[in-house]
């Protein structure tokens, strides 16, 4: 039935007049029920913005705009505060919704507005605390001395191929710097300053007309406000030097131990210890247990912390008992305690020893119960869901951290609106904005409440920015060194046009207000300089010629070819690694400022650059007569002609470069136009097609005339004419435009490695002359690190009978018909470990890098028979083995035991007999031979790797495998017994007869040869024989007529033979098959007329079947006759088998 709804509010008139009950609950919990009605002619009876239907649905009174009389309108409670319009105290915390909204500014729907597990009324009336600011425990740690224990093993392979190893273990102490102002600063804010300083520095123009900060930085990957304070250590300069020295000493131990060989270094063990004091920074007493610390170091490139170690209390590790620390607001410290690592990253610990720097220690895990028994782990989520974090870092180690409640109204979409920054600072934290704008600090007002409890702002390009919090103010003018400013780092983006006061804070978000300064104007803020041990009072703390900023932020690429890496020097030390070169010199040379031997060749950078002596090994047993050479610095850098043949570059005015070809003069393409002066550098910029190059040279071997002349047709440059007198070491031939030396040195002249800069050997290349022996090893063994062809010519490191150079240069081999070049390892007598010494593989021209040179699946040791007895198996001249035996006996590292039964195949040919199957398969792989009719299991066979057709049946072994036949049996299916001869061999069956060699069969040719009337009395007429027809039924059932039916005109002479022509058939007869020869009925025709058959006599027919293997070859006879008159017919045939 349709109901009347006069006002269209969704309620029928009768219902509005009948009304409904409303239950109202007062603050003290009493309830009352009121019966209410609404006006059926007014949609919103009380005009409060909620129509009557909604009032009915919500259980509110449609005749009043405040159902519960709590002074908050029903509409506001329903749509803005989400409180209950029928309850005066929606959250039941004992405070009316009105007071929470208008006076205390707490949430009317959350009993605990700030989530700290104390209700709003408890905090307000019992504990004298702020219900809008979470009261949480705030533990902090302080770190004293840090101990780094490193055990490292150095190992190398000696001349006999044995691995030698030794270890060194030492503990390095990192003591704290005396300046600890910022050590206890909030680690998160310090990390933010370091990570986002580039963004701040981009806007804060040092030395320019910069404004005064107010930067809003979005922490792109987010950050969180932790509920604990870590500690950032800064290492004293003495500890830095000592730690770096420990690292260099350890590496020198490896160099000395290995005798300048290439060695491997592994960190076997690492341990970290530190003394730790636990403190309470808040005003809430608590007990902390299960304390686990995380130590981190800074990655200078990513500006992020990387894990170093996880630490527990030493006592807890030893006893297994959980340690508890009780801390109150008046009894704030416990300790120091010794903490030790339970997990450490050895490589990071080693890097810290190499590059001592600030260590950040954070509380990684803990359990806290406060004075009220609250387990903090359970309350932290509630706090995060109801508050926003605010960190105020004043830049001097003083940090304030708060969690402020963000409870407020909801927007039209039901989303929390949050609170503004001004609300958070002024209403919650009591830090009010200065009336009328900022108040500059002066001696008169510095300590007044208006300063201590306020913050200041100013307009910058029409946007309000933060300039002061309490007594810490942005500098508005004055010297650059005194300029400081406030920056905001937020977990959520802040629009650039938003005023500071209007920044909206929502639950779960974090905001860090950080006061940063750069007193020395070097681009590093004070807190960042603290992290890296430099001073904010000098742009170049160590006065080494590199600014602190470049040492911390820039670094430089260490120029090791193929392994460039960025290195950072210590901004507090002139010579970070103590190698004798300043950091500035190391940057110019692109060496590692933290490692004395950048290329790990066993010679320090300093020595490689200034020069050193090398005692050359002369090959005899008398070390007293070895020649000594002095390696002195030289450079091959030059500006060379690019090919146009005219000198285009003039020396830079004021430089010490040398003009060897005057400007505009002709010059050979590729020849030098300008050489460096005494400073060893090319300072001039090339012009035209010319360019700077440093290429290899041929130098004079002795004092005297030049012996080497440029190779005809090459583009090499003759720097000194042949025959001219020069001193030993003088460059006489240089590379042309192709960049390489094509000429072979004559006499004592030799090639010399190219130097790109002025040094004795290259500190960035462990093998300056690229001869596969490191510079340090060459110097130790007695070869020249600048001679590309002398390494190993006098040394057999592995005592295997081959000189190192011969092993490194290698030899040519021909494998499977393909020419290849192979090398062996000069540190291993048997490079591939196949039982054949490298010397033997060299003499027999095998591959010492492969146990199976020809890749046939047989190891060289098993294939090679060095003393074969059969000529067919002799693949190498016998004198090769004689040479090997003699040379092997002369050295200690060469051993060989001949296998008792070598296979003897050719180790240089994968398929010795060229039958299409590799030797390994012929030796090891079998196949089943399944002959028709023979029982299972089928026999397994394998082929002979020396014979392509061992059974001489015309099929090679590859074909036998393909067809499944026996390679050692010419007649696999055995049908030769039937046929005889070789026409049943597998090859004949497959290739000629095209039959199955696995199924016994025979090729049959059946021939009707003649007819013979064997009787003499068949009647008295001339026309005697008719009918018949000679047939053969083949194995497949086909009936074939070979001789047609005989007509009556055929006259047969009694006793005579009638030959038959072309009446044969050839076919294959296999096991179990048969064929039949037969005829139609023959008749003796005695009537005078062919048309008359009254006297015909039936002579019958014949049929004979043959099967395999019973069939035999030879002449066959078939007879038929009229038995009544002795009239007989014989048909003759022949069966031929093959």
CA–CA distance, 256 with 248 (Å, rounded to integer) = 12
Residue 190 near residue 531, CB atoms below 8 Å = yes
* Mean pLDDT of the region 331-338: 79
Phi/psi at 936 (nearest 5 deg)?
-85, 160
- Give the model's pLDDT for residue 1138: 79
* Mean pLDDT of the region 503-524: 85
Most confident of 277-281, 378-382, 702-706, 998-1002: 702-706
* Mean pLDDT of the region 681-704: 93
Q: Looking at the domain assignment, is residue 792 inside a domain? A: no
Q: 923 pLDDT exceeds 80?
A: yes
pLDDT tens for 598-628 read 998 889 999 999 999 999 877 565 778 888 9
Q: 185 pLDDT exceeds 50?
A: no
pLDDT tens for 313-323 read 888 888 888 88
- Give the model's pLDDT for residue 176: 53
- Give the model's pLDDT for residue 886: 92
Mean pLDDT estimate for the chain = 82
Rg of the chain, C-alpha, whole Å: 53
pLDDT tens for 461-470 read 888 888 889 8
Q: Looking at the domain assignment, is residue 346 inside a domain? A: yes
- Spell out the SS3 assignment of 148-190: EEEEEEEEEECCCCCEEEEEEEEEEEECECCCCCCCCCCHHHH
Q: 1050 pLDDT exceeds 70?
A: no
- Measured CA to CA in angstroms, residue 240 lies from 300, 309, 347, 1014 at distances of 17, 20, 18, 130
Q: 327 pLDDT exceeds 80?
A: no
Q: Tally the C-alpha atoms within 13 A of residue 82's C-alpha that lie toward its C-beta.
A: 14
The confidence band for 216, taking pLDDT boundaries of 50, 70 and 90, is very low
Q: Comparing 159-173, 244-258, 883-897, which segment has the lowest mean pLDDT?
A: 244-258
The confidence band for 154, taking pLDDT boundaries of 50, 70 and 90, is confident
Give the H or E element holding residue 818. strand 818-822
The confidence band for 449, taking pLDDT boundaries of 50, 70 and 90, is low
Q: Is 419 helix (H, G, I), strand (E, B) or coil?
A: strand
- Give the model's pLDDT for residue 1124: 58
- Quick one: what percent of the chain has pLDDT higher than 90? 41
The confidence band for 574, taking pLDDT boundaries of 50, 70 and 90, is very high
pLDDT tens for 1083-1101 read 777 777 777 777 777 778 8
- Give the model's pLDDT for residue 385: 86
Q: Comparing 285-299, 374-388, 598-612, 1029-1043, which segment has the lowest mean pLDDT?
A: 374-388
Q: Comparing 213-222, 405-414, 506-515, 747-756, which segment has the lowest mean pLDDT?
A: 213-222
The domain total for the chain is 7
Q: 127 pLDDT exceeds 80?
A: yes
The confidence band for 196, taking pLDDT boundaries of 50, 70 and 90, is very low
Q: Looking at the domain assignment, is residue 1028 inside a domain? A: yes
CA–CA distance, 63 with 71 (Å, rounded to integer) = 15
pLDDT tens for 15-39 read 999 999 999 999 999 999 999 999 9
Q: 224 pLDDT exceeds 60?
A: no
Classify residue 981 as exposed, middle or buried by CB count within 10 Å of its CB (0-12, 13-18, 19+): exposed
Most confident of 375-389, 474-488, 578-592, 1055-1069: 578-592
- Give the model's pLDDT for residue 1070: 84
pLDDT tens for 340-392 read 887 777 777 777 776 666 677 777 777 777 666 666 654 567 788 899 989 89
Question: At which of 872, 889, 906 does a domain end?
Answer: 889
- Give the model's pLDDT for residue 116: 80
CA–CA distance, 563 with 565 (Å, rounded to integer) = 6
CA–CA distance, 569 with 587 (Å, rounded to integer) = 9
Residues 6+ apart with CB under 8 A from 325: 278, 287, 288, 289, 291, 334, 335
- Give the model's pLDDT for residue 860: 93
Do 416 and 520 lie in a common domain?
Answer: yes
Instruction: List, in sequence order, every residue forming a beta bridge with 153; answer none if it has no partner.
Output: 167, 266
Do 314 and 408 lie in a common domain?
Answer: no
- Give the model's pLDDT for residue 178: 42
Do 180 and 304 lie in a common domain?
Answer: yes
Higher-scoring residue by pLDDT: 251, 432: 432
- Give the model's pLDDT for residue 250: 60
Residue 322 near residue 397, CB atoms below 8 Å = no
Q: 261 pLDDT exceeds 90?
A: no
Q: Comparing 500-514, 853-867, 938-952, 969-983, which segment has the lowest mean pLDDT?
A: 969-983
Q: Tally the C-alpha atoms within 13 A of residue 426's C-alpha that lie toward its C-beta.
A: 15
Most confident of 696-710, 772-786, 982-996: 696-710
* Mean pLDDT of the region 1046-1058: 63
- Give the model's pLDDT for residue 478: 65
Higher-scoring residue by pLDDT: 982, 683: 683
Do 968 and 1016 lie in a common domain?
Answer: no
Q: Looking at the domain assignment, is residue 584 inside a domain? A: yes
Q: Is 1115 helix (H, G, I), strand (E, B) or coil?
A: strand
Q: Tally the C-alpha atoms within 13 A of residue 293's C-alpha that lie toward its C-beta.
A: 33
CA–CA distance, 688 with 671 (Å, rounded to integer) = 14
Tokens coding 971: 């007649």
1043 alpha-carbon distance from chain centroid? 85
Residues 6+ apart with CB under 8 A from 877: none
The confidence band for 218, taking pLDDT boundaries of 50, 70 and 90, is very low
Classify residue 430 as exposed, middle or buried by CB count within 10 Å of its CB (0-12, 13-18, 19+): exposed
Q: Looking at the domain assignment, is residue 621 inside a domain? A: no
Instruction: List, in sequence order, every residue forming a beta bridge with 402; answer none if it has no partner.
Output: 390
Do 989 and 1005 lie in a common domain?
Answer: no
Q: Comparing 46-60, 330-344, 628-642, which segment has the lowest mean pLDDT?
A: 330-344
- Give the model's pLDDT for residue 195: 46
Higher-scoring residue by pLDDT: 807, 139: 807
Most confident of 151-160, 368-377, 878-887: 878-887
- Give the model's pLDDT for residue 222: 37
Q: 480 pLDDT exceeds 80?
A: no
Q: Comparing 157-171, 550-564, 802-816, which segment has the lowest mean pLDDT?
A: 157-171
Tokens coding 1015: 């009787």
Do 518 and 556 lie in a common domain?
Answer: no
Q: 179 pLDDT exceeds 60?
A: no
Q: Comparing 85-99, 158-172, 929-943, 1060-1074, which segment has the lowest mean pLDDT?
A: 158-172
Do 346 and 471 lie in a common domain?
Answer: no
Residues 6+ apart with CB under 8 A from 783: 614, 616, 617, 773, 790, 791, 792, 793, 794, 795
Q: What is the pTM of this model?
A: 0.54
Assign residue 1036 a region (left: φ > 0; alpha: ψ between -120 and 50; beta: otherwise).
alpha
* Mean pLDDT of the region 1048-1068: 73
CA–CA distance, 834 with 845 (Å, rounded to integer) = 15
Assign residue 413 a region (left: φ > 0; alpha: ψ between -120 and 50; beta: otherwise).
alpha
- Give the model's pLDDT for residue 1119: 85
The one-character DSSP state at 501 is G
Q: Is 243 helix (H, G, I), strand (E, B) or coil?
A: helix
Assign residue 914 a region (left: φ > 0; alpha: ψ between -120 and 50; beta: otherwise).
left
Do 346 and 434 lie in a common domain?
Answer: no
The confidence band for 201, taking pLDDT boundaries of 50, 70 and 90, is very low
Most confident of 152-161, 191-200, 778-787: 778-787
CA–CA distance, 656 with 659 (Å, rounded to integer) = 10
CA–CA distance, 818 with 824 (Å, rounded to integer) = 19
Token pair 């959980």 in the structure block, residue: 322
- Give the model's pLDDT for residue 861: 94
Q: 760 pLDDT exceeds 60?
A: yes
- Give the model's pLDDT for residue 81: 92
Q: 170 pLDDT exceeds 60?
A: yes
Tokens coding 948: 């392509």
CA–CA distance, 604 with 776 (Å, rounded to integer) = 9
Q: Looking at the domain assignment, is residue 132 inside a domain? A: no
Query: 46 lies in which domain range?
Result: 13-109
Do 472 and 564 lie in a common domain?
Answer: no
Do 982 and 1009 lie in a common domain?
Answer: no
Q: Looking at the domain assignment, is residue 348 inside a domain? A: yes
First to last CA, the chain: 110
Do 1047 and 1100 lie in a common domain?
Answer: yes
CA–CA distance, 667 with 643 (Å, rounded to integer) = 9
The confidence band for 1038, taking pLDDT boundaries of 50, 70 and 90, is very high
CA–CA distance, 535 with 1109 (Å, rounded to integer) = 109
Do 235 and 169 lie in a common domain?
Answer: yes
Q: 703 pLDDT exceeds 90?
A: no
Q: Looking at the domain assignment, is residue 638 inside a domain? A: no
Tokens coding 845: 């021209």
């Amino acid at each position: 039935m349709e109901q009347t709804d006069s006002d269209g509010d969704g309620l029928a008139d009768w219902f509005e007049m009948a009304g409904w009950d409303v239950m109202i609950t007062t603050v003290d919990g009493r309830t009352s029920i009121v019966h209410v009605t609404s006006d059926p002619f007014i949609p919103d009876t009380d005009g409060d913005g909620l129509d009557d239907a909604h009032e009915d649905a919500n259980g509110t009174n449609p005749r009043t705009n405040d159902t519960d009389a709590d002074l908050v309108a029903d509409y506001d409670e329903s749509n803005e505060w989400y409180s209950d319009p029928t309850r005066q105290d929606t959250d039941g915390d004992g405070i009316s919704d009105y007071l929470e909204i208008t006076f205390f500014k707490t949430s009317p729907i959350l009993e605990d507005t700030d989530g700290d597990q104390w209700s709003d009324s408890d905090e307000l009336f019992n504990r004298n605390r702020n219900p809008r600011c979470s009261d949480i425990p705030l533990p902090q740690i302080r770190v004293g001395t840090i101990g780094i224990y490193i055990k490292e093993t150095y190992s190398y392979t000696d001349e006999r191929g044995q691995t030698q190893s030794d270890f060194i273990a030492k503990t390095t102490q990192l003591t704290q710097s005396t300046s600890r102002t910022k050590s206890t600063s909030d680690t998160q804010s310090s990390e933010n300053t370091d990570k986002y300083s580039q963004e701040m520095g981009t806007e804060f123009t040092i030395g320019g007309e910069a404004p005064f900060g107010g930067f809003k930085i979005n922490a792109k990957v987010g950050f969180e406000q932790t509920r604990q304070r870590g500690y950032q250590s800064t290492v004293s300069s003495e500890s830095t030097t000592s730690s770096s020295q420990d690292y260099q000493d350890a590496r020198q131990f490896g160099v000395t131990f290995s005798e300048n060989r290439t060695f491997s270094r592994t960190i076997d063990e690492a341990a970290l210890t530190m003394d730790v004091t636990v403190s309470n920074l808040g005003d809430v007493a608590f007990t902390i247990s299960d304390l686990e610390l995380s130590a981190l170091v800074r990655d200078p490139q990513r500006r992020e912390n990387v894990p170093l170690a996880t630490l527990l209390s030493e006592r807890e590790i030893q006893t297994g008992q959980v340690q508890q620390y009780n801390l109150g607001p008046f009894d704030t410290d416990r300790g120091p305690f010794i903490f030790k690592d339970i997990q450490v990253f050895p490589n990071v610990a080693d890097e810290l020893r190499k590059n001592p720097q600030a260590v950040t220690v954070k509380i990684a895990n803990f359990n806290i119960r406060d004075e009220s028994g609250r387990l903090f782990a359970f309350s932290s989520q509630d706090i995060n869901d109801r508050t926003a974090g605010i960190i105020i870092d004043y830049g001097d180690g003083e940090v304030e951290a708060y969690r402020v409640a963000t409870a407020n109204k909801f927007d039209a979409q039901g989303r929390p609106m949050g609170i503004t920054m001004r609300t958070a600072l002024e209403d919650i934290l009591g830090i009010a904005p200065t009336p009328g704008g900022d108040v500059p600090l002066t001696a008169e007002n510095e300590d007044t409440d208006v300063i201590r409890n306020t913050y200041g702002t100013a307009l910058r390009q029409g946007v309000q920015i933060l300039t002061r919090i309490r007594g810490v103010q942005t500098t508005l003018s004055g010297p650059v060194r005194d300029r400081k400013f406030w920056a905001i780092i937020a977990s959520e983006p802040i629009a650039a046009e938003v005023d500071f006061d209007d920044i909206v804070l929502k639950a779960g978000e974090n905001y860090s207000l950080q006061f940063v300064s750069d007193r020395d104007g070097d681009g590093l803020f004070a807190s960042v300089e603290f992290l890296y041990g430099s001073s904010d009072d000098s742009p170049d703390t160590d006065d080494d010629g590199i600014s602190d900023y470049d040492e911390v932020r820039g670094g430089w690429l260490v120029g090791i070819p193929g392994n460039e890496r960025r290195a950072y020097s210590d901004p507090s030390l002139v010579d970070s690694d103590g190698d004798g070169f300043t950091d500035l010199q190391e940057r110019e040379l692109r060496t590692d400022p933290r490692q004395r031997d950048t290329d790990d060749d066993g010679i320090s950078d300093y020595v490689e650059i200034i020069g050193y002596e090398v005692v050359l090994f002369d090959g005899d047993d008398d070390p007293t007569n070895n020649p000594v050479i002095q390696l002195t610095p030289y450079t091959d850098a030059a500006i060379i002609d690019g090919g146009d043949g005219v000198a285009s570059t003039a020396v830079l005015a004021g430089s010490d470069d040398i003009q060897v070809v005057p400007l505009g003069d002709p010059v050979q393409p590729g020849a030098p136009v300008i050489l460096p002066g005494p400073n060893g550098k090319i300072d001039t910029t090339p012009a035209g097609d010319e360019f700077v190059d440093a290429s290899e040279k041929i130098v004079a071997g002795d004092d005297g005339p030049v012996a080497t002349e440029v190779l005809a047709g090459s583009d090499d440059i003759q720097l000194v004419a042949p025959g001219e007198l020069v001193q030993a070491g003088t460059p006489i031939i240089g590379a042309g435009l192709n960049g390489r030396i094509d000429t072979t040195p004559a006499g004592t002249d030799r090639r010399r490695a190219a130097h790109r800069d002025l040094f004795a050997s290259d500190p960035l290349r462990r093998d300056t002359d690229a001869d596969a022996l490191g510079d340090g090893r060459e110097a130790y063994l007695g070869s020249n690190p600048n001679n590309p062809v002398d390494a190993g010519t006098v040394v057999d490191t592995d005592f295997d009978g081959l000189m190192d150079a011969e092993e490194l240069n290698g030899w040519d081999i021909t494998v499977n018909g393909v020419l290849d070049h192979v090398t062996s390892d000069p540190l291993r007598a048997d490079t591939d470990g196949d039982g054949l010494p490298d010397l033997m593989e060299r003499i027999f021209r095998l591959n010492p890098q492969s146990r199976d040179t020809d890749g046939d699946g047989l190891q060289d040791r098993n294939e090679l028979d060095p003393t074969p007895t059969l000529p067919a198996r002799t693949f190498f001249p016998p004198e090769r083995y004689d040479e090997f035996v003699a040379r092997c006996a002369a050295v200690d590292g060469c051993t060989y035991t001949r296998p008792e039964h070598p296979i003897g195949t050719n180790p240089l040919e994968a398929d010795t007999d060229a039958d299409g199957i590799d030797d390994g398969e012929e030796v090891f792989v079998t196949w089943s031979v399944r002959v028709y009719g023979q029982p299972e299991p089928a026999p397994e066979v394998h082929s002979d790797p020396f014979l392509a057709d061992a059974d001489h049946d015309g099929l090679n072994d590859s074909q036998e495998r393909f067809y499944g036949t026996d390679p050692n049996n010419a007649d696999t299916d055995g049908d030769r017994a039937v046929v005889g001869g070789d026409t049943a061999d597998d090859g004949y069956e497959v290739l000629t007869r095209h039959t199955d060699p696995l199924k016994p069969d025979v090729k049959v040719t059946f021939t009707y040869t003649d007819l013979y009337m064997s009787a003499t009395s068949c009647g008295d007429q001339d026309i005697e024989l008719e009918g018949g027809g000679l047939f053969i039924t083949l194995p497949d059932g086909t009936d074939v007529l070979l001789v047609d039916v005989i007509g009556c005109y055929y006259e047969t002479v009694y006793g005579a033979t009638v030959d038959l022509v072309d009446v044969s058939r050839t076919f294959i007869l296999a096991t179990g098959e048969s064929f039949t020869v037969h005829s139609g009925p023959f008749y003796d025709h005695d009537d005078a007329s062919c048309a008359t058959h009254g006297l015909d006599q039936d002579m019958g027919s014949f049929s004979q079947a043959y099967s395999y293997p019973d069939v035999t070859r030879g002449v066959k006879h078939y007879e038929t006759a009229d038995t009544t008159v002795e009239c007989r017919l014989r048909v003759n045939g022949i069966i031929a088998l093959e």
